[in-house]
Amino acid sequence: MALKNSLRALMWLTKNESAFKQELLLAIIAVPLLCIWSIPLIEKAILASSLLFVLFAEVVNTAIEATVDRIGTELHSLSGLAKDLGSAAVLIAIALASVLWLAVLFKHI
């Protein structure tokens, strides 16, 4: 049942969240490149994990946004803060992935 719920959530994200779609597209492009890139397996795993971490952060951010919106639509500083913190988590995940990808790229060029 948990797998079914998770897949339903991922399908919803794919249909409704433009940021998730963009990050998923990046992962879909990057993973095949990792398969053909001649780098150590551990580096491939780290880079793939960094992409999954970005998707994870986006899922959590969307969950925060959905919860805040469910509680109420009126403007409140804590609601805005919660949404901003979720967005900051995604930004940090993207920064982490970028640093890892650049470090591996510069190591191998």
Residues taking part in catalysis: 58
Both structure tokens of 16: 């409704």
Those residues whose C-beta lies under 8 Å from the C-beta of residue 67, and which sit 6 or more positions away, are 82
- Which tokens hold the place of 83? 């949404």
For 98, the enclosing helix (H) or strand (E) is helix 77-107
Q: Residues, the chain, total?
A: 109
DSSP 73: S
